[in-house]
Amino acid sequence: EKRGKEAIDSFGVLPNFKGVAVHDCLAAYGDEEYSGCTHALCGAHLDRELTGVIENTRQRWAVSMKNLFSDMYRKKLGIIAGGGTEADAGTVEAFSKRYDAITERGLSRNPLGKATGKRGRPAKGKVRCLVDRLIKFKDEAMRFLTDFRVPYSNNQAERSFRLSKAKMKIAGSFRSDDGGSNFFKIFSVIDTARKNGVSAFDVLSKIFS
């Protein structure tokens, strides 16, 4: 009914996953129970947040961070095109220093608010929260460069969900919870088979036999 740990656990994927999970920065993904996998932040999600900062506040550090992610991505593609499988330590270090310098500018541009006398901590604001996340999850944000197995974004997962959204737009909704659950179970099998180069028909036949 809502997004969060209960929903994540009910899917039965992340609690047992041992690979690299590429996702946005939803706090529930950082639960200790999901420490068996390696985490990476989706570059497309970060790019959209940075674009929002630029459009709403005109802060130049966000432009620099967008350019940095773009430069890292192009560098990775160039290395792959040349037959390489990883970025050398010098390249990673250079990008890492640029990253730190940009987040420092972000901090100075968005200082914490002064205490108001009210209970609780002063509100940070969306931009400062983004800067703090970029600092805290630096390794995860740069994972696509430091580990070439990791994609820049989770668009593959987003594309897999398009059929579901199309069905919801056409049919309006599922007639029951069971109907929706069954649809997703069946499509999950078909899509997983397709991504692994296996005949979906053969997989479904084996399930029923």
Give pLDDT, residue 118: 66
Which whole number is the average pLDDT over 50-70?
Answer: 96
% of the chain surpassing 70 pLDDT:
95
Confidence class for position 148, pLDDT limits 50, 70, 90: very high
Supply φ then ψ for residue 205, to 5 degrees: -60, -40
Average pLDDT, the chain: 90
Cα–Cα distance measured from residue 65 to residue 43, given in angstroms and rounded to the nearest whole number = 11
Of the candidates 66, 68, 85, the residue with the CA atom closest to the CA atom of residue 77: 85
* pLDDT-derived band at 138, boundaries 50, 70, 90: very high
Summarised one tens digit per residue, pLDDT across range 7-28 is: 888 888 888 899 999 999 888 8
Is 119 a residue whose pLDDT tops 80? no
Give the best-scoring range by mean pLDDT among 2-6, 132-136, 162-166: 132-136
